[in-house]
Structure 1
Amino acid sequence: MKSYIVGVGMTKFEKPESKDWRYPDMAKEAATAALADAGIPYELVQQIPVGYCFQPSTAGQRAVYELGLTGVPVYNVSNNCATGSTALMLARQFVAGGLSDCVLALGFEQMKKGALGGGADGGDFATSPVARHYGIMAAAHGFERTPPTAQIFGNAAREHMERHGTTERQLAAVAAKNHRHSAANPYAQFREVYEVDEILADKPVHPPLTRLQCSPTSDGAAAAVVVSERFVVEHGLHGKAVEIAGQAMATDTADSFATGSCVDVVGTPVSRAAARGAFEASGLGIEDVDVVELHDCFSINELLTYEALGMCPDGESGKLVESGATTYGGRWVVNPSGGLISKGHPLGATGLAQVAELTWQLRGEAGPRQVHGARTGLAHNIGLGGAAVVTVLRRG
């Protein structure tokens, strides 16, 4: 059965501890906005998958209690940085499988200041979910006293540069593009525009990555209302409906670790597999896509994802971003929202915020950041440890 997004909403993404709110407040704001966008009451919602990483168990229930006490089933979802898209995937499966006609997917995060971790849990490296990933990195590059996630992606950047001649300026060009895009997004945590030279001159985090090439910790929430075709017809929602034309999730396989390369450990094979599944399900290809929201947790990951999605051959992604092919006037517009680097990255909300942006784009409602004539969009959301979700959206 077909499934459609008929309502989306999100909060502005904020620096942690900069605003006097808690996760139930931000969740209520995003969910209420999504329901209002769909033009339906909360009482019609039949199931709610809720994504978050840093709140306690059953925080999903605590959040949706703010919407009303209807007894609706709530599923608490955690899948690292791919949590929001995992909640969306569950919502789609409930609808596509004929179990429900109206499902609310919700994601939120209330984070702490400072760099995101990602190493051992409580000091016990052996039981860390990413022990194998960081073990591969340590064997190839050692383990330094820099933030672990920046370190593993920074080492992936070094490998890409050594293999393919990718330059620091090409990495910085990704961040410059996304900071430029975010200037038109009122939901973005950062709206300042930076040039390539300013990005290169910023504080080093783990060379070659500087601070302006790294996504920040963020507070925020996002939501989407997913419904069946029957629900669209019964409630006259054709003008709102964006079809989830294809979606797939992949997790690590032997290919992720076989090469001993950080390029593979951080998710290139997983992203490639998820993209292949989403394209097969939709009957579309990257050549049919107009606008892309992808997981640029670090500038190098945007380049790696270009290659995983088939936007260019392996090793050619640096040249692709420099050519202007991934911004306004180019072949695709990638991260018109500003992406994770500039819009922000509250883990549980990120995947749903990507879909909110694409829904607005495909409806022609994105205002000054509108991609002219956009009819097909792609969202890519990845979590180290690992999971990748690729979603293809289509507007009829």
Structure 2
Amino acid sequence: MTYILGGWQSDFSKNWAREGMEIADGFAQALGEGLASVSLDPKDIDVGHVGNFVGDLFAGQGMLGGFFALAHDDFDGLPTSRHEAACASGSVALLAAAADIEAGRYGTAAVLGLELMRNVPGQTAAEHLGAAAWTGHEFGDATYVWPRAFSDLTDEYDKRYGIDEAYLRRISEINFANAKVNPNAQTRGWSFNNLSFSTDDEANPVIEGRTRKSDCGQVTDGAAMVVLASAERAAEYARARGIPLESLPRIKGWGHRSAPISYRKKIENSAGQEYVFPQVRRAIEDARARAGVSLEQIDVVETHDCFSMTEYMAIDHLGLTAPGESWKAIEAGDIEKGGRLPINPSGGLIGCGHPVGATGVRMALDAFKQTTGTAGDMQVEGARNVQTLNIGGSTTTTVSLLIGT
């Protein structure tokens, strides 16, 4: 059993390069602030794991595990590793750390996800992010690979079930509104008008295919960090602070599935099946089965919304509706705060921001906050179980965690 002791998230509105920060600076800040948030010292950490997708391309920097000892001399000698799974990199790092703890190798783990992404022009950033697609084989005619990929998913939903794109705009509107009360959200100060979520080509221009500006998640710089602990170490931690062990959230269940890197191959493989992305559905179900938790027992979802279409897909794959009927949950207000199952009270990737390697860790941290009643204005009252859904590429890697008390 793996517990979450707490952690820290950077302000996703910050532009590190403009503030004179390198990726090592962002790492050191997240590590230091994360340890301070749980009142632990470097000597209390047994192993370090880093989630990062494209540090090599954006910053020319690999070997990110070496930043632990660079940040503090007491980490010299700490076993570390870096994990890459595109946008699911942070969640894969969490899985590796939890496996370390469950195997009895280590009692505590520092898991840090980060990305430096605003230091290059937008087109260059889009090209770097295209490394998660099947390079040289798909989307070669696209200016922006991922807006195109999820435009194609919109086409696929339209073909199989029919789709009203107004519901995609509504997803974005909800997530931007949620981000307004998130003190770390990239878009918390952004302004919108009645045309921002429309089909007005000037106010909400087409980016690629059927994907418009409001549909897009917000790439940014940022980091998130959590500390994981074994049952024994968590019990020691709780006793030292005079709190019940049961008050600390734990990773109750997990799901981890991979599919072919080719988007087209995924679609071909799911032809005639119930779900467009069966491996996403399996990851979701695996997490619930391992946790012994049903959909009805889940209070909050933090899901991947790199585009509004991604969340539209997630809604039916999570089981809120039958396949292809996600619009029903949106229309009924089920996904809003106060609804049947609030989705992305943080604002998600669209509202909060998406420093790719940090996203999975940020989701876990928000789950910790929700289940400890420390989410501030984002709090969903009485939240005990949070499910995360973190997707890399065109659902090439999917990780879902069930976190709760």
Specify whether residues 258 and 247 from structure 1 end up closer, same or farther in structure 2 by C-alpha distance, changes over 3 A only: closer
| Count of aligned pairs between the two proteins | 381
Structure 1 residue 219 and structure 2 residue 217: aligned? no
Kindly state the Cα deviation for residue 62 of structure 1 after the two structures are TM-superposed: 2.3
Letter in 2 for 1:180: A
1:8 aligns with 2:37: no
Match of 1:110 in 2: 116
C-alpha distance in 1, partners of 2:380/2:103?
33
Tell me: CA distance 1:314–1:241, structure 2 relative to 1, closer, same or farther (3 Å).
same
Change over 3 Å in CA distance of 1:186–1:239 after alignment to 2: farther
- TM-score, normalization by structure 1: 0.89
Q: Is 2:212 aligned against 1:205?
A: no
Question: Under a length normalisation based on structure 2, what TM-score does the superposition of the two structures give?
Answer: 0.87
Q: How does 1:1-396 map to 2 (within 5 A)?
A: 2-14=1-13, 16=15, 17-55=17-55, 56-70=61-75, 71-111=77-117, 112-114=120-122, 116-117=125-126, 130-131=133-134, 135=138, 144-191=141-188, 192=190, 194=192, 197-200=195-198, 201=200, 202-236=204-238, 238=245, 241-252=248-259, 257=265, 259-260=267-268, 268-384=277-393, 386-395=396-405
Contact 2:43 2:74 in 1 (8 A): no
Which range moves more in the overlay, 34-43 or 333-342?
Answer: 34-43
The residue number in structure 2 matching 1:125 is none
- Judged with a 3 Å threshold, the aligned counterparts in structure 2 of structure 1 residues 179 and 193 are, in CA distance, closer, same or farther, namely farther
What per-residue deviation string (whole Å, max 9, x for no partner) do you get for residues 307-334 of structure 1? 2221211011122112210011211110
Return the offset for 1:252: 0.5
What secondary structure, in the 3-state scheme, does the structure 2 residue paired with 1:199 have? coil
Matched position secondary structure for 1:222: strand
> Can you give the 5+ residue segments of structure 2 that lack an aligned partner in the other structure?
56-60
Change in Cα spacing, 1:196 to 1:260, as seen in structure 2 (3 Å) is farther
Deviation at 1:195, TM superposition (A): 6.0
SS of residue in 2 equivalent to 1:223: strand
**1:276-326 deviation line (CA, Å, top 9, x unaligned):** 211111111222110111000000000111122212110111221122100
Q: Which residue of 2 aligns with 1:124?
A: none
| Cα distance in 1, alignment partners of residues 261 and 237 from structure 2 | 46
Greater mean alpha carbon deviation, residues 40-49 or residues 22-31: 22-31
Letter of the aligned partner of 1:60 in structure 2? G
Question: Which amino acid is the alignment partner of residue 394 of structure 1?
Answer: G
Give 3-state SS (helix, strand or coil) of 2:170's partner. helix
Identify which range, 212-221 or 229-238, moves more after superposition.
229-238
- Bigger drift between 273-282 and 200-209 goes to 200-209
Distance in 1 between the 2:278 and 2:72 partners?
Answer: 39
- Contact 1:10–1:29 at 8 Å: present in 2 too? no
Shift of the 387–20 alpha-carbon distance from structure 1 to 2, 3 Å rule, reads same
TM superposition shift of 1:165: 2.6
60-69 or 22-31, larger mean C-alpha shift: 60-69
